[in-house]
Amino acid sequence: MMARINLSNNGDTPFQKLLGHNPAVMKEWSSLSKVLEEEAFLSSDLKEQVRRTLAQKNGCEYCKAKGKPDPNVFDEKTSVAVGFAEVFLKQKGNIPDSVFHVLVDCFSEEEISELVAFICFTSAQQYFGAVMRLEPKSFIRE
């Protein structure tokens, strides 16, 4: 199965090429993606495990193909962040206070803000890939 629309000539990755039909959207989306993926208050390793967790349920085959979460590399913060991502997936964003308090006990406000922004944005990316039927074989840079 191929992506639902043709890849544009704009962008470096298959994902960007799907967004690239509107270069301004692709540019800004890619910019925010880069900011959220980089080390900031949270490590990029923690965020990668959260991304992998979200990918298993958000329906994007391209995103799933990058790997499943690896519990062998989890520290306490990663375990809590991944657990929160799993609740987010099940509750569709309607997070009970009891679950949110677990974040407050483990993370600073800056880290919580970054984690929730990363989870929401990453889910949006994965939904886009799922809707557009972006395939794992599209991994190869063109």
Tell me the domain boundaries of the chain.
Answer: 41-134
Higher pLDDT, 138 or 126: 126
Count of C-beta atoms within a 10 Å radius of residue 42:
22
Confidence (pTM): 0.91
Q: Is 6 helix (H, G, I), strand (E, B) or coil?
A: coil
Count of C-beta atoms within a 10 Å radius of residue 113:
12
The pLDDT assigned to 1 comes to: 61
* pLDDT bucket at 139, cuts 50 / 70 / 90: very low
* Mean of pLDDT values over 26-46: 96
Radius of gyration in angstroms for the set of CA atoms belonging to the chain, rounded to a whole number: 16
**CA dist., res. 53 & res. 56, Å (int):** 6
pLDDT in tens, 53-78: 999 999 999 999 989 999 999 999 99
